[in-house]
Structure 1
Amino acid sequence: MRNRSSAALIRQVLDPTVYSLLETSWASPVPPGRSIEWILDHLLVPPPITTLRVNAVDAEKVEDVIATATKLFYPRDVQRHSLLDDVLIVNHDTVSSSEGLPSRTKQREDPRAKECFVNSDRGCSTNCHAATSISTRTRTVAAGQESQFQRDNKDHDEVVLRTDQRKGLKENGGGQLPVILVDRRCGQAVLRGAHVFSGGVLASEPHLRVGEMVEVFTLPGRLHKSKLAVECANVQRNQEMSSIHSSAVAAQPSELPLHGQKSQEADAHHASEDIRAGGEERSTSADKSDPESNGELRGGDCDCGRSEAQNDETEQEHLASVLRGTYLRAALPERVRKTGIFCGRGIIRQNLGQVYAGKPGIAVEMESAIDLSTLPACLVAQNLPSIVVGHVLSPQPGERVLDMCAAPGGKTLHLATLMKGHGLIVAVERSKTRAEKLRSFLSTSSHASIVEIVCGDSAKGTWQSTQLGMGSHGRDFIGYFDRVLADVPCTALGLRPRIDFEGLTDRVVLAAAKYQREFLKSGCQLLKTGGTLVYSTCSVSRAENEENVAWALRHLPLMLEPAEPFVGTHTFENGDRGARLFPPGEAEKLQRFCPSGNTIGFFIAKFLKTGTG
């Protein structure tokens, strides 16, 4: 069976100015025989693993938590990270031994059912290997194996096309599974592990029944301006049977990727930590987006590119209004397969007429979804680079720590855990709504008692602390903190999977980089001499990362220290791509996570304050 290849490549999805900016200033090593475009194409697909952080420091408790996770995610394989004792890796496409675990039917995995999501001519492999891997999320569901939804709907759910029948069709070279088209935000959430909820469904082939197996596709960003929407409308008008139109409203966001109605627009990618992609507040709750900020700046407030973002949003809404409730007839399903992004296979769980009429609930139960809604308090779903950030800062019990951009709270909780509940963390969040969600998130942990949550702008120092003194403003605490974490607003250009880049131009990237320097300046002022400042982003652009580090070294009393422990790669300075930013050996102190590995793209720099100012 040939691997599926998507016609959508990152070059076609990204704004040309952004793509050119990334390509001409790339700062990570390129694997032999590969290209920068090959690396960036990984942004369109999810990592093949889910990472969990053990929310404990006692060795005995850690072992108990590992045993809990192993049972919780069985039969998926759960392994301890080789370098970080508090990190567990859940492999999407491997199963663990049943020894010592409750007796359950082990999922059968047919290697022929593995899919690749980018053009196979570009060297995509079904092997999950760092720096050369692409997720192989789709697996065959064992015939007769019942899900909770099947058990709940036995009276009216009949699996129309079972696994063994599908295998026969594919092996004989005939037949294709029907297509369901979802909006971009829904597709992005599905790629991150969610089911398809009714609010995200745009169109489908006709005559689909509850229990039928389907393939879910979405349309990538800049490709939506193709003629597909117009063709759908024209074909629809020519049919004797009019399609069902609805006023279904997109599902609202949730802080965690719950398997309820709210989770369709939640970020099911590693639940709740630190990808604040601007313009995605409606769809990805784990993204730290701020509805008051620029449409593509993660939490920022610069307005460069705001009009472009608004226009693109209008275009996206227009597309949804044209497609929603239509039937894909004639050659349109094949057009979707060729131009769309494949999100996975699933089983229809709602009558599509009810879906288009706005009935809430799960419309398609996806095979590859990972339920992170019932994690015990001892486990936190968190991106691997976000966990590494806490270890690089390495706060000690009794210290005073400033978290400049704290929501949704995964990093803040990690810092409190590393401090064993002793000391003080001032967690600043600009958005009142997100500050309240942060408070709710931290309320379940005893270690979080050392965290004071304040609402304000840490870049400007306009926040007030009650624990540090009534009426005291952030700018009054010059040289007060032992350690500062500046996980700053960014363009989220390392987020994966990401297929929604609307409104993101080179001007937005450069404006974001300029805004981020305000956090570096403010954080440095509040840091004591000899203290540690860690700067991080979930972007892969050099402007937001290495260039800002170089700026800080020129203008602030800071010096670089190795961003240890090194789990990602070192920054790579290629003399052919412009002037070097750092003296020899300095770039090696910076840590990058390349999106072609098993994580999102990420950047970490560690500074030591050398003097006043």
Structure 2
Amino acid sequence: MEETRKSGFFGVRDLLCPEVYNHLQLQCPYCPEAAFSFDSFIDNLLVPAPARSLRVNRIKCTDSSVALAEAEQCIGMKGHVHPQFPDILIFPPKEAPEGSSKRCSALNMDFPDTQELAAEDEVRGNPKKVTEDMGAPCRQNNPVMVVVGPQCGQAVLRGAHVYAPGVLAAEPGSRLGSVVSVWAIPRPSKNTPGCAATCMRSLAFLRGAYLHGERRSEVEKWGVFCGRGTLEQSLKDVFLHSKGLAIRMESACDLSSLPASVVAQQLPSCVAGFVLSPLPGELVLDMCAAPGHKTSHLASLMKNRGVVVAVERSKKRMEEMKAHLASLGASAVECIQGDSAKNKWQCSLGAPTQLKDSFDKVLADVPCTGLGLRPRIVYDDVDMHSVREAARYQREFLAAGCALLKPGGVLVYSTCSISWAENEDNVLWALENLPLTVEPPEPYFPGAQPPQNKIPVQRFCPSGQTIGFFIAKFRKQKEAT
């Protein structure tokens, strides 16, 4: 579908390589907003999801209202227990505008009609406009502009503060304690044509550079406003020492010191655990376990009875996961360093060669391109080659997990990508090449079931209040008798 781009605006189309953009357009039939305006749909990837989610850790707290009160006190925001999933706590934006729930939302089952979308397209078609409406820099006070690196800007949009290594350039005139406006320049794919991508690439800053007149205008035109914050160090110290907290962001949501009663976990990721639904006493495999949020959820659902074998390829991440799970009381988990795609690991029960057809449940939340993560402003690491390689690698996990699964056992496959190649294509491949059948991935989350898809999956659209996410449920065929 061909759409008119407005002069001076940019969106994901201006950042992705054309081949990936065209590939993603295959999603149009599966989301009402994508069918109406694909650019409007995909541009949601440039802005944060309007709601945050935490999961109640039932190992430490059996009462959702108690966990909610502890979480509210810790992060200084009001939330509520999800009406369908009492284990999930929802924290809406700090300043959610009245009536904002009319948007296409996986939280309220409401899909807007095309007239509503058309009326809002002036905003939805311009992610810069969205971020400005959420709290644009006040031009009357003329705050000093600070430019951070794209990875840093992406983290800030996801709720982080700015640390010194991420600061690239700034206007002169700031001092310790002053309010600054933080901007980042998106990083387009090297294969992306067009004026926007060319201009963004040209906005390269030597670290420690000062911004002046024309450069500020270029940043305002081609950059993304990340929010306001207060300087915790002088810029001289920021550039000289390059360490520590540089800017305390007004929009930051610090989840680093949550009580053990709750876990920071993306809502669709929680649903994947509910779909797997491990029972007390079962033997469960988590193939890609770090940082351990999903793993602790599985242990919680099992009431800490049974065994969860959690495999992580990186030794450092495995050790960090082990400490994290211990703090959450997840004693049913055995953390293992190894390569689950190749079935090269060893646990107390044996090696994979000894555990064929042994696991009751397998979770394959596999490495992917992250094309459903939001906000995302860095796209220079994704092209069709990387999409195809990700899909090929994911099939290794499906095959390895299937080999370890009991006949009649359940394997849940999930990604945080919206690409067809990594999702439905891999489901079809598994059905053709492995002794698996596909089942409805219940419980379905409101709005996450593609209405026209013949394959029973859950697909979370980024046009809702979550990241883009995909869930499929398989059952291993029993041997014929």
Same fold (TM over 0.5): yes
The change in CA–CA distance for 1:334 and 1:71 in structure 2 (over 3 A counts) is same
Q: Structure 1 residue 453 and structure 2 residue 335: aligned?
A: yes
Q: How far did residue 442 of structure 1 move?
A: 0.9
Q: How far did residue 485 of structure 1 move?
A: 0.5
Given candidates 224, 234, 254, the residue that maps to 1:371 is 254
Matched ranges for 1:19-418 at <5 A: 19-24=21-26, 26=28, 28-31=30-33, 34-56=36-58, 61-74=63-76, 76-94=77-95, 122-124=121-123, 138-139=134-135, 170=140, 176-222=142-188, 226=198, 319=204, 322-418=205-301
One-letter amino acid of the structure 2 residue matched with residue 548 of structure 1:
N
Contact between 1:8 and 1:341, CA under 8 Å: does it hold in 2? Answer: no
1: CA distance between counterparts of 2:303 and 2:249? Answer: 39
Contact between 1:196 and 1:365, CA under 8 Å: does it hold in 2? Answer: yes
For 1:570, what is the secondary structure of its paired residue? Answer: coil
The change in CA–CA distance for 1:137 and 1:477 in structure 2 (over 3 A counts) is farther
1: CA distance between counterparts of 2:351 and 2:162? Answer: 45
2: CA distance between counterparts of 1:11 and 1:363? Answer: 32
Q: How far did residue 510 of structure 1 move?
A: 1.1
The change in CA–CA distance for 1:362 and 1:137 in structure 2 (over 3 A counts) is farther
1:558 aligned partner: 436
The change in CA–CA distance for 1:430 and 1:211 in structure 2 (over 3 A counts) is same
Q: Structure 1 residue 611 and structure 2 residue 478: aligned?
A: yes
Q: How far did residue 209 of structure 1 move?
A: 2.1
2:354 aligned partner: 476
Return 419-428 or 61-70, whichever deviates more. Answer: 61-70
C-alpha distance after superposition, 1:390-440 (max 9, x if no partner): 100000000010111111100000000010010011111111111111111
1: CA distance between counterparts of 2:250 and 2:407? Answer: 53
Contact between 1:458 and 1:474, CA under 8 Å: does it hold in 2? Answer: no
The change in CA–CA distance for 1:428 and 1:437 in structure 2 (over 3 A counts) is same
2: CA distance between counterparts of 1:511 and 1:572? Answer: 29
Q: Structure 1 residue 428 and structure 2 residue 311: aligned?
A: yes
Contact between 2:34 and 2:41, CA under 8 Å: does it hold in 1? Answer: no
Contact between 1:54 and 1:65, CA under 8 Å: does it hold in 2? Answer: yes
The change in CA–CA distance for 1:323 and 1:30 in structure 2 (over 3 A counts) is farther
Q: Structure 1 residue 514 and structure 2 residue 396: aligned?
A: no
Return 415-424 or 364-373, whichever deviates more. Answer: 364-373
1:279 aligned partner: none
2: CA distance between counterparts of 1:347 and 1:10? Answer: 30
For 2:368, what is the secondary structure of its paired residue? Answer: coil
For 2:395, what is the secondary structure of its paired residue? Answer: helix
One-letter amino acid of the structure 1 residue matched with residue 466 of structure 2:
T
One-letter amino acid of the structure 2 residue matched with residue 122 of structure 1:
D
One-letter amino acid of the structure 2 residue matched with residue 77 of structure 1:
K
2: CA distance between counterparts of 1:333 and 1:419? Answer: 55
Contact between 1:93 and 1:137, CA under 8 Å: does it hold in 2? Answer: no
One-letter amino acid of the structure 1 residue matched with residue 377 of structure 2:
I
C-alpha distance after superposition, 1:495-543 (max 9, x if no partner): 1111112131111101111111111111111111111110000000011
Q: How far did residue 139 of structure 1 move?
A: 4.9
1: CA distance between counterparts of 2:411 and 2:29? Answer: 22
Q: Structure 1 residue 570 and structure 2 residue 449: aligned?
A: yes
C-alpha distance after superposition, 1:116-170 (max 9, x if no partner): xxxx9834369xxxxxx96788459xxxxxxxxxxxxxxxxxxxxxx9xx5xx65
C-alpha distance after superposition, 1:424-479 (max 9, x if no partner): 11111111111111111111122x2111111111111111112x1xxx32132111
Contact between 1:48 and 1:93, CA under 8 Å: does it hold in 2? Answer: no
One-letter amino acid of the structure 1 residue matched with residue 150 of structure 2:
R
Contact between 2:373 and 2:467, CA under 8 Å: does it hold in 1? Answer: yes
Contact between 1:7 and 1:340, CA under 8 Å: does it hold in 2? Answer: no
One-letter amino acid of the structure 2 residue matched with residue 571 of structure 1:
P
Contact between 1:350 and 1:362, CA under 8 Å: does it hold in 2? Answer: yes
The change in CA–CA distance for 1:227 and 1:519 in structure 2 (over 3 A counts) is closer
1: CA distance between counterparts of 2:13 and 2:202? Answer: 24
The change in CA–CA distance for 1:134 and 1:475 in structure 2 (over 3 A counts) is farther
The change in CA–CA distance for 1:205 and 1:121 in structure 2 (over 3 A counts) is farther
2: CA distance between counterparts of 1:513 and 1:327? Answer: 43
One-letter amino acid of the structure 2 residue matched with residue 204 of structure 1:
A
Structure 1: gaps (5+ residues): 96-119, 127-132, 141-162, 232-318, 574-584
Q: Structure 1 residue 14 and structure 2 residue 13: aligned?
A: no
C-alpha distance after superposition, 1:239-288 (max 9, x if no partner): xxxxxxxxxxxxxxxxxxxxxxxxxxxxxxxxxxxxxxxxxxxxxxxxxx
Contact between 1:535 and 1:606, CA under 8 Å: does it hold in 2? Answer: yes
1:523 aligned partner: 401
1:599 aligned partner: 466
C-alpha distance after superposition, 1:193-218 (max 9, x if no partner): 11111111111111222232222111
2: CA distance between counterparts of 1:6 and 1:398? Answer: 59
Contact between 1:427 and 1:452, CA under 8 Å: does it hold in 2? Answer: yes
The change in CA–CA distance for 1:27 and 1:433 in structure 2 (over 3 A counts) is farther
1:269 aligned partner: none
Contact between 1:77 and 1:94, CA under 8 Å: does it hold in 2? Answer: no
The change in CA–CA distance for 1:20 and 1:9 in structure 2 (over 3 A counts) is same
Contact between 1:139 and 1:368, CA under 8 Å: does it hold in 2? Answer: no
Q: How far did residue 32 of structure 1 move?
A: 8.1
Q: How far did residue 572 of structure 1 move?
A: 5.1
C-alpha distance after superposition, 1:67-91 (max 9, x if no partner): 22233344x3211112111110111
2: CA distance between counterparts of 1:59 and 1:380? Answer: 11
Which of the pair has more CA radius of gyration? 1
1: CA distance between counterparts of 2:133 and 2:56? Answer: 24
1: CA distance between counterparts of 2:332 and 2:273? Answer: 16
2: CA distance between counterparts of 1:125 and 1:47? Answer: 13
Q: How many residue pairs align between the two structures?
A: 444
For 1:449, what is the secondary structure of its paired residue? Answer: coil
Contact between 2:27 and 2:34, CA under 8 Å: does it hold in 1? Answer: no
Return 561-570 or 329-338, whichever deviates more. Answer: 561-570
1: CA distance between counterparts of 2:344 and 2:313? Answer: 9
Q: How far did residue 328 of structure 1 move?
A: 0.9
For 1:77, what is the secondary structure of its paired residue? Answer: coil
Matched ranges for 1:435-446 at <5 A: 435-446=318-329
Contact between 1:42 and 1:496, CA under 8 Å: does it hold in 2? Answer: yes
2: CA distance between counterparts of 1:598 and 1:489? Answer: 23
